[in-house]
Amino acid sequence: MHADDESARAPSPQSLEAPGASSEGSTPATGRAEPGDVASFAELLEPFGIQAPAHEVIRREQMPAAAARLLAHRRHMTVTLERRLESALRLAVVESRHREPHYSRRIRLHAARTDELALFGVMRFDFRACSSETRAEILAGGTPLGRILIASGALRTVHLHRLIRLPSGSALRQWYGANDPEATWRVPGDLDARPLWGRLASIHCDDRPAVDLVEILAPHLAQAT
């Protein structure tokens, strides 16, 4: 099985898969899809001195169908969005904080082919769960995290913990540079007026907790058919 095969098969939703693959299974309709600890939205934003925006935990059926297809699963968002956009992704690191053993950053992902905005994200990585080579590549900030972990060959298990709805994108517009008049990219649609849809997830590498994530779709992808 190839390391980038994100449709890898598991004997059961609870079982882990062969090295280099990502565990995947059906997602329950509850807001918290899997047991276990995950950092809250507020905890992930704390290193940046930013208050978490208003949001609510929801069930899968409360999301638009397009948003559910892109968020309610146990796969790397990098691969999911590459397939949806038919393009590799470009990583833009908005801000980072590094205090051993943790490294946090706020990011955007764009389609490399068109520069279309795909995702807003916040991540916190525990460097005790990876090799020195993986650590160096993450710190370089040039490659989306999902692609780095796939290339590392580590046994990856993606846990989906919560699906969330944000009533407005206005805070995200400011946090992620959409108000910058020098920005070369633009947010499709009306970010301020539409609700946003996202998820809280975590990734284990070789059975060790490695990453806590908040991943929020660009609004036009949540509404697309």
Least Cα distance to 138 among 195, 205, 207 occurs for 205
As a whole number of angstroms, the distance between CA 106 and CA 147 comes to 17
Between the CA of residue 219 and those of 35, 69, 111, 172, what are the distances in Å? 28, 14, 15, 11
Segment 112-153, tens digit of pLDDT:
998 888 999 999 999 999 999 999 999 999 999 999 999 999
Residue type, 169: G
pTM (two decimals): 0.80
- pLDDT(6) > 80: no
Give pLDDT tens digits for 65-110: 999 999 999 999 999 999 999 999 999 998 999 999 999 999 999 9
Q: Which structural domains are found in the chain, ordered by start? A: 28-223 (3.40.1410.10)
> For the residues 170-181, what does the mean pLDDT come to?
64
